[in-house]
Chain A
Amino acid sequence: MSQGVALAPLSARVYLARNLRRVAPVLGIQALVTCLLVTAITPTNAFEATTQAYTAAMEAITIVTPRERPILDRTLTGLLDANPSQERRQSAKMFWIRTPMIVGEAWAPLLLLDVSEHAGLLERVGCRLVEGRMPEPGSADAVVHEAVLKARGWALGTVFGEEVDRLDGTPGRFEVVGVLAGPARLALGDLSRASQPDSIYARQLPFEVVYASPGRKAASDAYLEAAKLPSGGAAFRVVNDELVRARIHKSFVNLPLVLTFITAAVAIVVALVTALLDLLLFHARLDELALLLAVGHPRRRLVRKLAAESALVALLGWAAGLALGLVVVSIYRALVLEPKGILMHLLDARPLLFSLAVPVLSTLVGSIALRVKLARMDPVAVIQRRGA
């Protein structure tokens, strides 16, 4: 005996292929809701993606400041120079450039280094000058990443900083003289001007940019984290990619909870609507189901058939919704985010996983409702009613 022969005409695939118009409302609801979830959830990775790009330089360099002491004194520089994994280090100061996001803002680093070190740092972080020139020694020149310029609406010659606009979060006054491109979104300026005693920037904490020897960054960072003062206290506050990632992660620690709540609410509503539509379809198929029961198909087999049909419709709707959602977020990224210099990953596992709750719950609730209806159905009554 072959179950396949018996069930092939009654398979969910055959039903769906030949009743597309009938299942279109369920398919459409599933697709639209999935699309809605994808377009709502995917952009939540924009802040994380953009912030990571702004701090990508930390994957190539490490920045340290004294933890307990106000300056990098001889003890601290001695500890730095004893780092066996260090290639070289440079004095620096670090400011931040505010960049607006759709909601809130992110911050791009503005590193002030000796101009002779600029080329080496750009090479290390994988960036290059694509327009304009590099900063002159002692000047207020700055080279800024193209995405930051886009986000702020700046161009070559733009002057920025708190002295120009008191709402600007960057201290002092800088002029954009060059445009950078590359994976790390940052800006560079000259340290010598910032280090003049009368400059407001001089009151900034001293920073050291530490370049690890090739392949030794983890070991170098571990050394810096573990370095101790003679008093036993930690010598340095270490800002590296690990810390940045941890901070970003911490910023979004409640996001899954919010997404779970939203998705659950949406999935429950959709499941109830789908179950109602399934029941309407069930009533339209009373003759078919009565006949199948009468000729000897057990109810459990028909329950499986109806559940498989529900699952197939829900999964197809989900897949269509994912595809539609991907198109919508692509358009949103191209038209809204990219002009503002905001990054967003199109391929994100979260919308896929969260939106999966919709077909799963819909299939579950729909199948239970159909199972109850089928259990109460009297095929003889249906057949006799039609024959009367």
Chain B
Amino acid sequence: MSAALQVPAAVLEARGLSLAYSDGARHVEAVRDVSLEVQRGEFLGIVGPSGSGKSSLLFLLGGLRRPSAGGVRLLGQALSSSPETNADQRRRHVGFVFQEPFLVPYLSVRENALTHVEDSDGPARLESLAEAIGMQDLLDERPHRLSGGQRQRAGLLRALANTPDLVLADEPTAFLDQSSGHAVMDLLRAHLGRAALVVVTHDRAMLAGASRVLTLTDGTLTAG
């Protein structure tokens, strides 16, 4: 079988991933020897208390942080440890959802979602996605006119607009009330398509419907 026809078993594969850094005189091991695989269509939840290294792990998985040790493979390809050199892979294959939606303030919801869409079908796809998550009437609004829940949904729209293979979400419901949080999570799961989803959160309730839930404690990942 030729390499071109090989279908990678996992969308995301991390092996021996560690992140250590110095914070003044203090040596911090934010992530310790984490290995995991996420399959296409899988929803992996990672739960842990504040300061357990959840965000650091997510940034390592997304190629935004250079690991101290170990590596990440995305769709079977090694993800460069340099955030600058893996930018193209991130832009094409990964959708990010942050605690703060980080919308560009002078762009409309539509334009925010299109900032990293590179194919000509993007605008049409965005329209149907917006309709599906109830944002069709807000596509031309600027972020300052949106409520917190609407802003987070606009963030989802941006994350999903490029039909990513992997969605990485960092406490996507942190700034939302319980019902808005659940609504955002429902939308995220419902419109993933064939993408894999990794959500890190301190709120286990937001991981309802997850294929697996892992716990991160002091940078170490354990089952359940």
In the complex with contacts A5-B117, A380-B59, A387-B55, A291-B170 CB distance below 8 A: no
Give Cα A384–Cα B59 distance, bound, in whole angstroms: 10
Total A-B pairs in contact (CB under 8 Å)? 99
Question: Which residues between 179 and 235 of chain A lie within 8 Å of chain B, taking CB atoms?
Answer: none
Interface band, chain B: 35 or more
Cβ < 8 Å to A, chain B residues 64-111: 64-65, 83-84, 87-92, 94, 96, 98-100, 102-107, 111
Residue among A19, A295, A386 having the largest count of chain B Cβ atoms under 10 Å: A295
Shortest CB-to-CB span from B167 to chain A, Å, is 12
Residues of A within 8 A of B89 (CB): 296
Residues on the A chain within 8 Å of B98, using CB:
291, 294, 383, 386-387
Query: Is A287 part of the binding interface, using a Cβ–Cβ cutoff of 8 Å?
Result: yes
Is the Cβ of A10 less than 8 Å from the Cβ of B118?
Answer: no
Q: How far is the CB of A263 from chain B (nearest CB, A)?
A: 34
Contact (Cβ within 8 A) B91 A297: yes
Find the B residue at minimum CB distance from A296: B91
Given the known A-B contacts A10-B115, A387-B170, are A294 and B107 also in contact in the complex, defined by CB atoms under 8 Å? Answer: no
Any A CB within 8 A of the CB of B119: yes
State in angstroms the CA–CA spacing of A294 and B83 once bound together. 9
* Chain A residues with CB below 8 A from B201, complex form: none
Residue of B nearest to A375 (CB): B84
A18 on the interface (CB 8 Å rule)? yes
Q: Are B87 and A296 in contact (CB under 8 A)?
A: yes
B118 near A386 with CB under 8 A, answer no
Query: Which chain B residue has the least Cβ–Cβ distance from A290?
Result: B102
Is B122's beta carbon under 8 Å from chain A? yes
Of residues 300 through 342 on chain A, the ones whose CB sits less than 8 Å from some CB of chain B are none
A residues near B210, Cβ cutoff 8 Å: none
Q: Which of A1, A9, A292, A296 has its CB near the most chain B CB atoms (within 10 A)?
A: A296
Complex contact B118–A6 (CB within 8 A): yes
A15 to chain B: which residues have CB within 8 Å?
Answer: 106
The answer to whether B84 and A299 have CB atoms under 8 Å apart is yes
B114 interfacial contact with A, CB 8 Å: yes
Asked if A387 and B96 sit within 8 Å, CB to CB, the answer is: no
A171 at the interface (CB under 8 A from B): no
B90 touches A296 (CB 8 A): yes
The distance from the CB of A227 to the nearest CB of chain B, in whole angstroms, is 75
Chain B: minimal CB distance from A369 (Å): 20
Cα A176 to Cα B114 with chains together (Å)? 78
Check if B215 is an interface residue, CB within 8 A of chain A: no
Question: Residue A254 at the B interface, CB < 8 A?
Answer: no
Compute how far the CA of A293 lies from the CA of B115 in the bound complex, rounded to whole angstroms: 11
Residues in A with CB closer than 8 Å to B88 are: 296, 298
> Are B104 and A291 in contact (CB-based, < 8 A)?
yes
A145 → chain B closest CB, angstroms: 60
The one of A5, A298, A299, A383 that contacts B102, using a Cβ cutoff of 8 Å: A383
Tell me the bound Cα distance from A2 to B96 in angstroms. Answer: 22
Of chain B, the residue at the smallest CB distance from A298 is: B87
Indicate if the CB atoms of B107 and A14 lie closer than 8 Å.
yes
Residues of B within 8 A of A290 (CB): 102
Residues of A within 8 Å of B117, CB to CB, are 5-6
Of residues 260 through 306 on chain A, the ones whose CB sits less than 8 Å from some CB of chain B are 287-288, 290-299
Say whether B171 faces chain A, with CB atoms less than 8 Å apart.
Answer: yes
A79 to B170, CA, bound (A): 100
Bound Cα distance from A288 to B84, whole angstroms: 17
CB nearest neighbor in B for A385: B100
21 A-B pairs (CB sep. < 8 Å): A2-B120, A5-B122, A8-B111, A9-B107, A14-B106, A18-B106, A288-B105, A294-B64, A294-B90, A294-B96, A295-B91, A295-B96, A296-B90, A297-B87, A298-B87, A380-B59, A384-B55, A386-B98, A387-B99, A387-B100, A387-B171
**Which 6 A-B residue pairs are closest in the complex by CB-CB distance?**
A296-B91, A9-B111, A296-B90, A387-B99, A291-B102, A18-B106
